[in-house]
Homo-oligomer: A and B are copies of this chain.
Amino acid sequence: MRYFVAVAEELHFGRAAQRLGMAQPPLSRAIHQLERRLGAALLERTSRAVALTEAGAVLLREARAALDAVEAAERRTRRAALARTGQPGVVLATKAGASSELLAKLLDAHAAEPGAATVDLLLCGIGEQERMLRDGRADVALLHLPFDATAGFDTEELCTEEQVAVLPAGHPLTTRDHLRVAEVTALPDLPMPRWPGRDGTYPDGPGPQARDHTQLFQLIALGRTCWIAPESCRAQLREGLAAVRVLDAPTVTTVIAWPPHSRSRAVAGLVRAATRI
């Protein structure tokens, strides 16, 4: 299945084999065997190109979930074994640089509980929390709706907030009481920034490249771009930045999420602390 996912993602047997650290012929054979075992054509191959069939697309999605589940099983077991010798910590995945106030309150509330487990923080890039939770690198995560997918997790809502446009101080729009999304995204002098995708490359476009919030805020202060963010980011605004409410941007809901069959006392304690905030 790992083989198939590699081929399906690369759509190229040679590159997939290289990524898997093996030669191309055995990979070809393995995929053929998988197709025979499933009785289904997974890939449409011509001698020049490889494409997914419908069944292949289904398997790609399901196989990713299955591989994540296997990885999670290994990781969680290892952690459970370590926990018995050391302290039973719990890994909390959260977006780096966001909602630091809420996070602080959560950790305080949890630490105040008797017998609270130690909490290890796992700071993730944009949208990485979901995968961390799925493959067992994290036990619990703070997610932000509607950006992150909570499908398949148990969740508890923590807080909801409006969004604001972060602009360079002194920009004409900062005199306004409120804005609309269309006004902010269509500014010809402040094109929206470009974020790296999962593969580390940036999409094409006019905006400047930003890798994290520090860079982003610096770029805004320099008058090169603007951004729409939850209003809790106001606490982090540095000199030279201004925030204006954006009325029609989706409200952001922060939720705490955990795998549905989690039976860990430590996770339950953290969730309980979270609901008490």
Contacts and interface: CB of A to CB of B under 8 A. Distances in A.
Given A38-B74, A54-B84, 11 more contacts: A38-B77, A38-B81, A39-B78, A53-B81, A55-B78, A59-B77, A62-B72, A62-B77, A66-B70, A69-B69, A151-B261
A116 interface: no
A136 B77 CA distance: 25
Interface string A59-74: 1011101101110111
A30 interface: no
Contacts of A66: 66, 69-70, 72-73
A121 interface: no
A40 interface: yes
The 8 closest A-B pairs by CB, nearest first: A40-B81, A151-B260, A62-B73, A152-B260, A66-B69, A55-B81, A58-B80, A59-B77
Interface in A70-102: 70, 72-74, 76-78, 80-84
Interface in A144-174: 151-154
A151 B151 contact: no
A29 interface: no
A261 B61 contact: yes
B151 A81 contact: no
B81 A39 contact: yes
A55 B77 contact: yes
Given A70-B1, A81-B41, A152-B260, A76 B54 contact: no
A259 B152 CA distance: 8
Residue from A73, A78, A84, A153 having most chain B Cβ neighbours under 10 A: A73
